[in-house]
């Protein structure tokens, strides 16, 4: 009896082992990854949250990366490797750090010469470690947190301006725009979601504002996942006498803030998004309607003044039938960074590709102070945010002047 | 942790495959024997699997640790916890804090995490049992405690607020620092030893005096109390053991993924991750948590692979994502509807008939 049970148990194990084992390709280790890189197309890995709550942005970014690969192939592939084609190998992080880690490992084993991704800071933190230990370059398209660069990684790069760069610029733009409009800012209230993203933005903004001599009002945090109403928080802002309200949040909670502002009507001169997930999105304009008019946001953005960007966005719109977001343009840029490094290195050896990335310059389709080039720590030294404003149902770039589509209107709709 | 351990080294006489005349084993010893066989079978796995699947195998073992821990309290003890993230997070944060701030080995951190988690569990348990929280109210209380810890950590400076801790990378590999090269097999083996030990402890616990008391209390608390069983003491012992095992899962998670933040440690998703494998495998069984962990842990990867290169009749699914979530939901509904005892529980019931 007991022995029979043992055999049954063993049979069950064997079955499960087969089930667990069948979900994979042929076994291969690091040596095989090199073999994978030497034949067939040059593989670039894209890791984004294509399912889960950020699936819309994740899918946008995967498509942006694919368009970059298509463009490179249409122009004749990697010329220094005799016109070898480029292929995008994709992974779905589901927005989870542990899934991101195993997907990154899978793409590297499949022969990816570099990775782009991942949209979320927590996931990027994990993928960065995988890239570092496998010695494969990882070019982050969207990852707000700056803490990754405190680790001294050699293989990790970033295209977007980081949390601190955006928040510092937001404070500077606020001072300049308010003074040019004849209503110098005197006190800023800050409303932010409480995770790393919102808190980091608030801390960096506070530090920059103190340097500029701007007084800071209440600093209010909330939980983005569970918040359902921000009226009490906005009432607190109204009572504080602040003339500007800065908001760092994700899409849903920032929309809630807009609704609360519309009902409380605090005495503000401006609503000032800081790397805000809503106030520069076309979706926000349609969801909030009149409520969202004249909202500002300082954030990374596709370069609306660059004809190449406009052409790419038109192509995206034709192909996929919805407007291309900035995240997707950043993914396009990140893939270009890797592909041009392969072109320059004339090799698919990740080590040589990494060195070419570190030494290279790539013209971006997103707003920047110049070509994408990386500082010693791997961060893009020419990354720059831009100030946008919702004007008459459209998101316009308004500051700095060289990237502006129209002039900033420093006021709110409910006060003269 | 004062379970009396019987030595589990059992060899079955005769050549392999000869299924005759094995001496009947005591249930505990039989379970230890099965465990030994399972562990032996698993040892070569990382060498066979490709490295991406190796990562999945480690994830399965982490799930198994969490599930075994949850099962001791909620399966054997019948105290349905919806807040095991509290103990997972305490284990993860204690080891990460000691390592990052004081350069203490993760092994010591793991032990410290077990102690702190057990203490937290005893405090939560004491107040819950003292005020006679039952069933759903107890589950809600545990959930609230886990959320409370998440918020405390999110706003505490010493825990790095919302940023969390990143484990510093070292050069080379070191067992003492519990850090190896990315696709090293050692991670799997360490996790296998931890998970194997957890299962051994759960077997020993179930067959010990404390385990018998606890199952008796689960089945009829009033009767057990009337017979003079020290109810409170054994309930607290159970939650402490359960929390300690879950804390090990948290500490190992941090070492393997090298990063923990309030959501990864204390988020409600973590509590659910501890429960689901057990529900699928069979609540209150020895092997249920393990079968459940294998299914839940590999489901994502298997479906994703299927979607990348689907067979012809499923071609319309190519390149779509989110199928694993759908499957997960369907599987859960089917299991809860058709096999309320879980896979292992149902098989065991059939077997007895």
At residue A4, does pLDDT exceed 80?
Answer: no
pLDDT category at A55 given cuts 50, 70, 90 is confident
pLDDT category at A51 given cuts 50, 70, 90 is confident
B304–A contact, CB cutoff 8 A: yes
Query: What separation in angstroms does the CA of B213 have from each of A81, B31, B110, B238, B312?
Result: 72, 20, 29, 10, 55
Q: Which residues of B touch A126 (CB under 8 A)?
A: 257-259
Q: Could you give the dihedral angle defined by the CA atoms of residues A90, A93, A99 and A102, in that order, rounded to the nearest 10 degrees? A: 30
- pLDDT per residue over A61-71, tens digit each? 999 999 999 99
- Give just the sign of the alpha carbon dihedral A391, A395, A397, A399: positive
pLDDT of residue A211: 94
Strand arrangement, sheet containing A112-117:
A86-92, A42-48, A112-117, A138-140, A156-158
Instruction: Quickly count: other Cβ atoms within 10 Å of residue B134's Cβ.
Output: 12
Q: Which residues of B touch A28 (CB under 8 A)?
A: 50-51
Chains A, B: CB contacts under 8 A, how many? 157
pLDDT of residue A76: 93
- pLDDT per residue over A276-309, tens digit each? 989 998 889 999 999 999 999 999 999 999 999 9
A133–B contact, CB cutoff 8 A: yes
User: Of all residues in chain A, what percent carry a pLDDT higher than 90?
Assistant: 73
Residues within 8 A of B (CB atoms), A 271-310 only: none
pLDDT of residue A197: 86
Output A266 or B55, whichever has higher pLDDT: A266
Q: Per the CB < 8 Å rule, is B49 touching A145?
A: no
Q: Per the CB < 8 Å rule, is B154 touching A196?
A: no
Q: Which residues of A touch B305 (CB under 8 A)?
A: 23-25
- pLDDT per residue over B206-219, tens digit each? 999 999 999 999 99
pLDDT category at A18 given cuts 50, 70, 90 is very low
- pLDDT per residue over B70-90, tens digit each? 999 999 999 999 999 999 999
Q: Per the CB < 8 Å rule, is A20 touching B302?
A: yes
pLDDT category at A155 given cuts 50, 70, 90 is very high
**Distance from CA of residue A113 to its chain's centroid?**
21
For A154, counting Cβ atoms within 10 Å of its Cβ (0-12 exposed, 13-18 middle, 19+ buried), the class is middle
At residue B110, does pLDDT exceed 60?
Answer: yes
> Between helices A326-345 and A307-320, what is the axis angle to 10°?
110
At residue B19, does pLDDT exceed 50?
Answer: no
Q: Which residues of B touch A17 (CB under 8 A)?
A: 41, 45
Q: Per the CB < 8 Å rule, is A21 touching B321?
A: no
Pairing of strands A215-222, A244-248: unpaired
At residue B323, does pLDDT exceed 80?
Answer: no
Cross-chain CB nearest to B53 (options A7, A23, A147): A23
- pLDDT per residue over B303-322, tens digit each? 777 777 777 777 776 666 67
pLDDT of residue A17: 40
Output Rg (C-alpha) for chain B, integer angstroms. 21
Quote the mean pLDDT of chain B: 86
pLDDT of residue B340: 85
Query: How far apart (Å, rounded) are the C-alpha atoms in residues B119 and B112?
Result: 11
Output B52 or B87, whichever has higher pLDDT: B87
pLDDT of residue B14: 39
B51–A contact, CB cutoff 8 A: yes
Output B275 or A37, whichever has higher pLDDT: B275
Q: Beta strands of chain B (E only): which ranges?
A: 165-166, 259-260
Residue of A225, A275, A233, A250 whose CA lies nearest to A57 = A250
Q: Per the CB < 8 Å rule, is B169 touching A133?
A: yes
Cross-chain CB nearest to B19 (options A4, A29, A94): A4
Q: Per the CB < 8 Å rule, is A105 touching B182?
A: yes
Query: What separation in angstroms does the CA of A43 have from each of A6, A249, A411?
Result: 46, 35, 49
* Tokens at A88, concatenated: 């995008």
Quote the mean pLDDT of chain A: 89
CA-angle at B244, arms to B242 and B248, nearest 5°: 115
Q: Per the CB < 8 Å rule, is A195 touching B263?
A: yes
pLDDT category at B169 given cuts 50, 70, 90 is confident
Instruction: Quickly count: other Cβ atoms within 10 Å of residue B135's Cβ.
Output: 10
Q: Which residues of B touch A101 (CB under 8 A)?
A: 55, 257
At residue A11, does pLDDT exceed 70?
Answer: no
* Residue A112 to chain B, least CA–CA distance (Å): 13
Q: Are B262 and B162 in contact (CB under 8 A)?
A: yes
pLDDT category at B141 given cuts 50, 70, 90 is very high
* Residue B324 to chain A, least CA–CA distance (Å): 10
* Tokens at A178, concatenated: 């308010």
pLDDT of residue A332: 97
At residue B9, does pLDDT exceed 60?
Answer: no
Q: Per the CB < 8 Å rule, is B321 touching A51?
A: yes
User: Of all residues in chain B, what percent carry a pLDDT higher than 90?
Assistant: 57
pLDDT of residue A224: 84
Residues within 8 A of A (CB atoms), B 65-124 only: none
pLDDT of residue B20: 47
At residue B113, does pLDDT exceed 70?
Answer: yes
pLDDT category at B23 given cuts 50, 70, 90 is low
pLDDT of residue B351: 85
Q: Per the CB < 8 Å rule, is B30 touching A2?
A: yes
Mean pLDDT within A65-79? 95
Mean pLDDT within B160-176? 83
Q: Which of A34-38, A94-98, B77-81, B319-323 has the highest mean pLDDT?
A: B77-81
Q: Per the CB < 8 Å rule, is A21 touching B49?
A: yes
Output B312 or A92, whichever has higher pLDDT: A92
Mean pLDDT within B226-237? 92
Residue listed under structure tokens 């779509």? B320
Q: Per the CB < 8 Å rule, is B322 touching A200?
A: no
- pLDDT per residue over A208-262, tens digit each? 999 999 999 899 999 887 889 999 999 999 999 999 999 999 888 999 999 999 9
A98–B contact, CB cutoff 8 A: yes
Q: Select the residue from B186, B259, B307, B343 to test the A interface by mutation, using most A Cβ atoms within 10 A.
A: B259
pLDDT of residue A32: 58
Q: Which residues of B touch A27 (CB under 8 A)?
A: 48-50
């Amino acid at each position: 009896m007991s022995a029979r049970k043992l055999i049954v148990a063993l049979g069950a194990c064997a079955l499960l082992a087969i089930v667990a084992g069948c979900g994979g390709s042929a076994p291969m280790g690091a040596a095989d990854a090199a073999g994978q890189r030497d034949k067939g197309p040059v593989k670039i890995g894209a890791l984004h949250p294509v399912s889960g709550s950020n699936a819309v942005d994740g899918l946008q970014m995967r498509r942006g990366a694919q368009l970059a690969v298509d463009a490179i192939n249409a122009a004749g592939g990697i010329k220094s490797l005799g016109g070898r084609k480029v292929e995008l190998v994709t992974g779905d992080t589901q927005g989870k750090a542990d899934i991101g880690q195993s997907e990154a490992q899978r793409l590297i084993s499949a022969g990816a010469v570099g990775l782009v991704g991942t949209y979320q800071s927590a996931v990027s933190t994990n993928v960065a470690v995988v890239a570092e230990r496998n010695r494969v370059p990882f070019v982050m398209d969207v990852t707000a947190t700056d803490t990754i660069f405190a680790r001294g990684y050699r293989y990790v790069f970033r295209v977007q301006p980081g949390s601190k760069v955006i928040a510092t610029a937001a404070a500077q733009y606020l001072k300049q725009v308010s003074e040019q409009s004849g209503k110098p800012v005197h006190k800023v209230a800050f409303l932010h979601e409480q995770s790393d993203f919102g808190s980091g933005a608030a801390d960096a903004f506070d530090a920059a504002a103190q340097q500029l001599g701007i007084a800071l009002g209440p600093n209010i945090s909330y939980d983005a996942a569970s918040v359902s109403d921000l009226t009490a928080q906005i009432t607190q802002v109204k009572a504080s006498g602040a003339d500007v309200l800065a908001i760092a949040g994700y899409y849903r909670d920032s929309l809630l803030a807009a609704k609360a502002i519309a009902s409380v009507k605090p005495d503000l001169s401006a609503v000032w998004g800081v790397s805000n997930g809503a106030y520069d999105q076309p979706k926000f304009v349609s969801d909030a309607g009149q409520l969202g008019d004249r909202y500002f946001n300082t954030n990374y953005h596709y370069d609306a003044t660059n004809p190449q960007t406009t052409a790419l966005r038109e192509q995206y719109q034709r192909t996929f039938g919805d407007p291309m977001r900035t995240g997707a343009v950043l993914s396009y840029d990140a893939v270009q960074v890797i592909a041009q490094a392969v072109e320059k290195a004339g090799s698919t050896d990740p080590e040589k590709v990494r060195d070419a990335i570190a030494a290279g310059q790539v013209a971006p389709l997103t707003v920047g102070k110049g070509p994408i080039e990386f500082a010693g720590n791997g961060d893009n030294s020419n990354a720059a945010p831009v100030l946008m404003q919702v004007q008459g149902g459209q998101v316009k770039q308004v500051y700095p002047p060289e990237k502006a589509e129209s002039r900033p209107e420093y006021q709110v709709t409910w006060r003269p | 942790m004062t379970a009396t351990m019987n030595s589990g080294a059992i060899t079955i006489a005769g050549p392999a495959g000869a299924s005759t005349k094995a001496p009947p084993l005591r249930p505990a010893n039989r379970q230890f024997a099965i465990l030994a066989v399972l562990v032996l079978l698993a040892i070569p796995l990382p060498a066979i699997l490709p490295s991406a699947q190796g990562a999945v195998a480690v994830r399965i073992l982490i799930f198994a640790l969490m599930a075994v821990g949850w099962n001791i309290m909620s399966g054997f003890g019948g105290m349905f916890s919806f807040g095991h993230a509290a103990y997972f997070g305490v284990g993860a944060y204690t080891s990460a804090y000691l390592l990052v701030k004081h350069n203490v080995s993760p092994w010591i951190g793991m032990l410290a995490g077990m102690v702190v988690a057990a203490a937290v569990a005893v405090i939560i348990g004491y107040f819950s049992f003292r005020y006679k929280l039952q069933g759903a109210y107890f589950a809600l209380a545990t959930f609230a405690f886990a959320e409370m810890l998440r918020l405390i950590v999110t706003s505490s400076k010493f825990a790095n607020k919302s940023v969390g801790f990143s484990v510093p990378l070292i050069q080379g590999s070191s067992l003492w620092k519990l850090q190896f090269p990315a696709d090293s097999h050692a991670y799997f083996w360490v996790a296998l030893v931890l998970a194997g030990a957890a299962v051994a402890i759960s077997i020993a616990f179930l067959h010990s005096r404390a385990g018998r008391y606890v199952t008796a209390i689960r089945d009829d608390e009033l009767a057990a109390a009337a017979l003079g069983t020290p109810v409170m003491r054994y309930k607290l012992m159970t939650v402490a053991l359960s929390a300690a095992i879950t804390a090990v899962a948290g500490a190992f998670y941090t070492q393997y993924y090298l990063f923990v933040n309030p959501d990864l440690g204390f988020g409600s998703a973590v509590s659910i991750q501890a429960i689901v494998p057990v529900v699928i495998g069979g609540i209150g069984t020895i092997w249920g948590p393990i079968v459940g962990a294998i299914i839940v842990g590999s489901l994502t990867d298997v479906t994703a692979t299927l979607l990348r290169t689907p067979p012809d009749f499923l071609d319309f699914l190519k390149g779509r994502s989110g199928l694993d979530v759908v499957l997960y939901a369907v599987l859960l509904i089917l299991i809860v509807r058709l096999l309320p005892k879980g896979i292992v529980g149902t098989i065991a019931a059939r077997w007895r008939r």
